[in-house]
Amino acid sequence: MEEPDREAVATAVQRVAGMLQRPDQLDKVEQYRRREARKKASVEARLKAAIQSQLDGVRTGLNQLHNALNDVKDIQQSLADVSKDWRQSINTIESLKDVKDAVVQHSQLAAAVENLKNIFSVPEIVRETQDLIEQGELLQAHRKLMDLECSRDDLMYEQYRMDSKNTHDMNLIQNYFGKVHPLSEELAKQLWMVIQRSIVTVRRDPTLLVSVVRIIEREEKVDRRMMDRKKQTGFIPPGRPKKWKDKMFDVLDKTIITRIEGSQADTRESDKMWLVRHLEIIRRYMLEDLIIIKNLMVQCFPPSYNIFNRVLDLYHQALSSRIQELASEELEANEIVSLLTWVLNTYQSVEMMGNPELIPEINVKSLKPLLSQDIVDQLLHKYMATLRSNIIAWLRKALETDKKDWDKNTEPEADQDGYFQTTLPAIVFQMFEQNLQVAAQISDDLKKKVLHLCLQQMNTFLNRYAEEAQLYKEDHLRSRQHPACYVQYMIAIINNCQTFKESIVSLKRKYLRDEDDIIGFGSSAMDTTLDSIANDGCCSLLDEVFMDLEQHLNDLMTRKWLGGSNTVDTICVTIEDYFNDFAKIKTHYNQEMTIKAHRKVVTEYIKAIMQKRISFRNAEERKEGAEKMIKEAEQFKFLFKRLTAGFIEDTDGLCNTIIDIAEVLKLTDPSLLYLEVSTLVGRYPDLRDDHIAALLAVRGDASREMKQTIIETVEQSQRQQSANYTPIFKDIIVPTVPSLSVPKLLK
């Protein structure tokens, strides 16, 4: 206590020193004293109140402890009295054992008396119950059955209470009521028959279904009561619990499974559409059943059964099992598509689970998938593999069929614009279209995969098509009389290339949304192949033309030609005749062929000059020959103006080459020959020395020194080639030995 006193004094000194630091503060000493006195009085009052409160609490606690002690003493005395009374009553309880046995026996006899009427009338009640079951009076039959079971169970329970180990009496009772259990089973069969036909029953006689549900509910209550008694006494009557509610759902499950599996037709082996029919029957049955359950059957069951959702789950499980069985079978490509389309689209569509009559009871988004994603992927992989094999086979067969048409003696059919064509593009793309339409029903991803597969196989097919077209040409060259319509079918092959191009673009635009995919997706390779096939076909037809012109081309620039031969007339007539047939070629290819034919004719004419088949003897022959060349060049101009009308404005350029050469040959003054040759070289920069030498040799009047001088002078001159100039002399070879004809060399 001394230490706190010292601390209090020190604190007080500090506070007083803080208050009296200035002289003027001494006047307030009395004021400070009164304030501190008030604070002290307030603290002392609070301290007294706190101490008083604590004392009151302690006093109350002591009183309670004292009362508790008295209560414990009273209880101890009471327990002692009870213990004393219990010891004194032991002998009395043992003496009442006979009374206890008499009570049990009395209870048993009372139960027997109570059920005496039923006991004596058991055979009669059994017969009545049997008759009621056969008559379909199920509620009355069940009431009597319950009376029989109640009598049996009460007697057995009393026997169990009296002597649970006495199996003889228990068996005696059970044997006496032996026909009750078969009767229960017979009634159950009738119930399950009604449940099996519940979809039909609820429309014709819903009261029958209600009666069945009431019977099942009664049995469920008895089951619960018996199970509660078993927990208390350990006794359970024979045949309990019956669990008829669970059995009812088992029956429904088996009925639904049978209904789904039984919808398959027996003509599976002979009917290619068996799966489509099977799935359609399932769809129709299931939709009809669920609508009936929603509108009618739900009213026949207690709400606790949640019958619609329970049956929906049973249908879904049974259907899922059936779909998995179908998926595990060896299905063909079209069957896989039918199955996946039905599973992924039809099942959740308005045609089935999304039907307006099933809303809102069924939420389509909450339905579990009928097939796992792994199985779906396996089916898709199998479908793509099968489809690939089928496409390869279909394309091969289509090409073989088209090849047979190539050998026919009748012309191919023409399209609406009059162009020759075969059915190959239509057959191929109809097949692609069918497969893509089917794939689109399943998913966009599968649609893209199928399109990629089709275009991939199309690319391979076009390479084979090119090979077959080449073989067709080679077979024709062995015997040009066969086939009779070679030209017409080669035209059809060329036109098919354009049709293939257009069909590929159309197919991609229809089944691809992204413009980049449309532009890409394997276009360039196929376009290149198709252009190659068409170009080879055009070249084949031009070869056909120039093989017929071979002899006439050989006659150019010969003595026969100079003597008045109508070779060029024949060439023009032949070309025009062929191009009348070539009018059946689509415009794009026809134009290219016309340009090539024009260049080829002029080139062959110039080759005939350069091969030095004739050497003019005098100026008169040179004039005659040159004028004939100019006339024939004009014939070629006239011919190709008609053939190229509408797509080429200037067709004179190539033919003017012949005229320019003719002017060199026509020149009468040899001193001007250098000037003419220089002018010719200026127009045609690709004119070589050997060409000039051959040209001078045809003139026949140029000496060796003149030729050498002209050639050397021309070599020293600068040649400037314009951007628009197309070389014509570059590929013309001047033979140094007696030459074969160019067509022969080509052949």
Q: What is the pLDDT of residues 265-302, one digit of tens each?
A: 555 555 678 888 888 888 888 888 899 888 888 888 88
CATH T-level topology, domain 549-746: Tetracycline Repressor; domain 2 (1.10.357)
What band does 747 get if pLDDT is binned at 50, 70 and 90?
very low
Three-state DSSP class for 558? coil
**Consecutive H or E run containing 275:** helix 274-295
Q: What is the pLDDT of residues 214-248, one digit of tens each?
A: 988 888 898 888 888 888 887 888 888 888 889 99
Sign of CA pseudo-dihedral 497, 503, 509, 514: negative
What band does 745 get if pLDDT is binned at 50, 70 and 90?
very low
Cis peptide upstream of residue 241 (ω within 30 degrees of 0): yes
d(CA 378, CA 376): 5
Looking at residues 526-530, what average pLDDT do you find?
A: 90
Write the CA distances from 738 to 198, 307, 729, 731, integer angstroms.
Answer: 105, 105, 20, 19
What band does 512 get if pLDDT is binned at 50, 70 and 90?
confident
Is 70 exceeded by the pLDDT of residue 412? yes
**Which pLDDT belongs to residue 741?**
47
Residue with tokens 């690709």: 686
Query: Is the pLDDT higher at 450 or at 116?
Result: 450
Least Cα distance to 525 among 608, 481, 578, 466 occurs for 466
Q: Which tokens go with 186?
A: 């017979």
d(CA 457, CA 461): 6
Residue with tokens 């239509």: 426
Least Cα distance to 614 among 556, 680, 544, 536 occurs for 556
**Out of 64-73, 121-130, 325-334, which region has the weakest mean confidence (pLDDT)?**
121-130
d(CA 145, CA 244): 15
**Out of 158-167, 358-367, 442-451, which region has the weakest mean confidence (pLDDT)?**
158-167
Q: What is the pLDDT of residues 681-724, one digit of tens each?
A: 888 888 888 888 898 889 888 778 888 888 887 777 667 777 77
CATH code, 377-528: 1.10.357.50
**Which pLDDT belongs to residue 402?**
93
Tell me how crowded residue 528 is: count the other CB atoms within 10 A of its CB: 12
pLDDT averaged over every residue in the chain: 84
Query: Is the pLDDT higher at 215 or at 746?
Result: 215
Is 50 exceeded by the pLDDT of residue 314? yes
Q: Which tokens go with 522?
A: 């394997």
Task: Answer for the pair 623, 665: CB distance below 8 angstroms, yes or no.
Answer: no
Q: What DSSP line would sit under 125-136, residue for residue?
A: HHHHHHHHHHHT
**Which pLDDT belongs to residue 740?**
45
Q: What is the pLDDT of residues 136-159, one digit of tens each?
A: 788 888 888 888 778 777 777 777
Task: Answer for the pair 493, 420: CB distance below 8 angstroms, yes or no.
Answer: no
Q: Which residues, other chains included, contact 358 with Cβ-Cβ below 8 Å and sequence gap of 6+?
A: 287, 290, 291, 294
Query: Could you give phi then psi for residue 420, rounded to 5 degrees?
Result: -65, 145
Residue with tokens 């024939």: 632
**Which pLDDT belongs to residue 738?**
47
Amino acid of residue 642: R
Is 50 exceeded by the pLDDT of residue 518? yes
Return the domain boundaries, the chain: 2-91, 100-242, 253-334+344-361, 377-528, 549-746
What band does 520 get if pLDDT is binned at 50, 70 and 90?
low
Percent of the chain topping pLDDT 90: 23
What band does 573 get if pLDDT is binned at 50, 70 and 90?
very high
Q: What is the pLDDT of residues 326-349, one digit of tens each?
A: 888 888 888 888 888 888 888 888
d(CA 671, CA 675): 8
Q: Which residues, other chains included, contact 449 with Cβ-Cβ below 8 Å and sequence gap of 6+?
A: 384, 439
- Cα dihedral 475, 479, 482, 486 in deg (nearest 10): 60
d(CA 695, CA 710): 12
**Out of 98-112, 391-405, 475-489, 676-690, which region has the weakest mean confidence (pLDDT)?**
98-112
Tell me how crowded residue 44 is: count the other CB atoms within 10 A of its CB: 10
Query: Could you give phi then psi for residue 146, rounded to 5 degrees?
Result: -65, -35
Is 80 exceeded by the pLDDT of residue 310? yes
Q: What is the pLDDT of residues 535-564, one digit of tens each?
A: 999 999 999 899 999 999 999 999 999 888
**Which pLDDT belongs to residue 117?**
58
Three-state DSSP class for 526? helix
d(CA 277, CA 266): 11
**Which pLDDT belongs to residue 542?**
92
Least Cα distance to 442 among 387, 398, 520 occurs for 387
Query: Could you give phi then psi for residue 414, rounded to 5 degrees?
Result: -110, 150
**Which pLDDT belongs to residue 423?**
92
